[in-house]
A and B are shown apart, each in its own frame.
Chain A
Amino acid sequence: MSLTHDDIARIANLARLELHPDESERMLTQINGFFNIVEAMRAVDTTGVEPLAHPVAVIQDVALRLRDDVVSEPDQREANQRSAPAVEQGLFLVPKVIE
């Protein structure tokens, strides 16, 4: 299997990354090189094997923890917005989305 320039463009769009043509070219070669070593993995028979997400689940049950849906944090809007690129009256500014 080999990726094409169209694949790279499609993935870059999904990933919201602008790639310059030379970057895109380099990425194609490198990613195809990488997928050569992935082939060995695809050939492994994994029939009946459950995917492992939390590694410690190999030896014990790990339930994802949920906490009560209650307000626990104080208002920190100013601290939270201190590093935002554009803020006005406590709101994050983005380019116009709806005409």
Chain B
Amino acid sequence: MPSPNKPLHDFGVAELAGALRDGKLSSVEATQHFLERARSHADLGAYLAIDEDLTLRQARASDDRRAAGAAGPLEGVPIAHKDIFVTKDLPTTAGSRMLEGYRSPFDATVVRKLAEAGVVTLGKLNCDEFAMGSSNENSAYHPARNPWDRTRVPGGSSGGSAVAVAARLAPAATGTDTGGSIRQPAAFCGITGIKPTYGRASRYGMVAFASSLDQAGPMARSAEDCAWLLSSLCGPDPDRDSTSLDRPPEDFTRTLNDSLDGLRIGIPSEFFGAGLAEDVRAAVETCLKAYEKLGAKLVPISLPRTELSIPVYYIIAPAEASSNLSRFDGVKFGHRAKQYTDLVDMYKKTRAEGFGDEVKRRIMIGTYVLSHGYYDAYYLQAQRIRRMIADDFQQAFRVCDLIAGPVAPTVAWKLGGHGNDPLADYLADIFTLPASLAGLPGMSVPTGFGEGGMPVGLQLIGNYFSEARLLNAAHRLQQATDFHLRKPEGI
């Protein structure tokens, strides 16, 4: 039902689900529209794989389910998946040459749960190789471009997901967040994203990067849409994921409209120091004022080990990555070198050819810090400070209900802007890493615009299992502001 006032691609997940439920729209119509959008905006580099026939078959099957009275809560809504989730019917590359042409024999739990809720899969979305990166430039295939300024990065590692949602090539997408990979691209592209508490979403079928940090979550244009998706994708997966928590699924849409009167929002001084760009500071402060108008109180707090989270994260994550990525040996799946002399040479050449620079760097760092004689000094030391960082949050949550600050120190930088300096990327992760290390839920909410008209994201961090509260706070802000409704020129 495209109307002159509102084109179909501006419909969010909840609106589409409503229109489908009311019979004003079929899944085939909605799906065709977004497939067409994806095709005509291929230059943004958001998608890595699309199979229109498969997707339309899913849409027809969805319309049939509805006709048969068997509609799920998200029946017929088309969404796209980050190419880090394995899918039986579409290729999965994790943004790497290593997995070019790979076909998974099964669907990731998150993919399966969303399909059971009725969603139709539009395709697989670009990302940094094995989710390692903050700009999507580490994709082995092609960069993704920020729709607000195509000469800039969309952020990463869930860059393709953020681009697809911001450019209306999908009403929503899945992402994964290890050190900020949902929150930072959501901020850079002006959309909304949430990473739930570690252990709430199953990691089964997510190509593993750092297992004690990886979490799946939705990326959409509003907190309400994120709440719908998150309600379907969370839940225990006891037989498939050993770290999945025994926490029943929850309806996160139920409390979206709760009052914020008396809500205590902690403002960590370390998030507003000299490293924060002035345009980002100004945009974040605008939203903090909006929260005060909504009845919230701002409480100064301290997260004293914020800066330490950079080395701690960049020891733990590569250590786990070096172990996880040892499975890529050219034997059971993935790339194998053509020329080699013996088994070990086959491993070495296969991995040299299949992995990109950043992945190799992290494997090297991880291998080193886990090697004999260095394990205690680096890996265990990092895990000890990780506990101190998590304790700092518990200390802070004694005086506040939520924590707010910027998602990233600056707006999106230019493609190639960080040159060949991986450290520049690592340092820019400073505000998303602490919540990742502590396993806390965190989200990014559009909070205005900075330099070059680029979007700025407000980060909200909650205590364990407080996703409903986070989404409620984000939703109320979005009722009072319109930043999440703005769209890039020409979209």
Contacts and interface: CB of A to CB of B under 8 A. Distances in A.
A23 B359 CA distance: 13
A18 B381 contact: no
Given A53-B383, A64-B242, A11 B388 contact: no
B363 A82 contact: no
A27 B360 CA distance: 9
Contacts of A37: 310-311, 314, 423, 426
Chain A residues touching B, range: 35 or more
B142 to A, nearest CB: 22
B415 to A, nearest CB: 20
B197 to A, nearest CB: 7
B352 A84 contact: no
B423 A97 contact: no
A33 B310 CA distance: 13
Give the residue among B312, B315, B355, B385 with the most A Cβ atoms within 10 A.
Answer: B385
Nearest to A78: B105
B381 A42 contact: yes
Interface residues of B, number: 76
Contact of B384 (A14, A46, A55): A46
Contacts of A83: 101-104, 333-334
Q: Is the interface of A mostly helix, strand, loop or mixed?
A: loop
B348 A17 contact: yes
Given A15-B367, A16-B351, A53-B383, A38 B311 contact: yes
Interface in A68-99: 72, 76, 79-86, 92, 94-97
Contacts of A64: 242-243
Interface string B379-402: 011111111101100100000000
A16 B347 contact: yes
Contacts of A49: 384-385, 387-388
A12 B242 contact: no
A42 B365 CA distance: 15
Interface string B101-124: 111110000000000000000000
A54 B198 CA distance: 8
Interface string A4-39: 000110011011111100010011001101100110
Contacts, number: 177
A76 B329 CA distance: 21
Interface string B421-462: 011001000000000011110000000000000000000000
Given A17-B360, A27-B360, A56-B197, A85 B308 contact: no
A51 B367 contact: no
Contacts of B68: none
Contacts of B437: 55
A17 B364 contact: yes
Contacts of B439: 54-56, 58
Contact of B105 (A8, A16, A55, A79): A79
B196 to A, nearest CB: 11
Contacts of A97: 343
A58 B239 contact: no
Given A11-B371, A27-B360, A83-B101, A62 B351 contact: no
Given A51-B383, A62-B245, A34 B332 contact: no
Contacts of A34: 314, 365, 422-423, 426
26 contacts: A11-B368, A15-B364, A16-B351, A18-B349, A23-B360, A34-B365, A34-B422, A37-B310, A38-B311, A38-B315, A41-B381, A49-B385, A50-B384, A54-B199, A54-B212, A54-B243, A55-B438, A56-B439, A58-B387, A58-B438, A59-B394, A76-B105, A79-B105, A85-B334, A92-B331, A96-B342
8 closest cross-chain pairs (CB), A and B = A55-B439, A51-B383, A85-B336, A79-B105, A52-B387, A46-B384, A18-B348, A41-B311
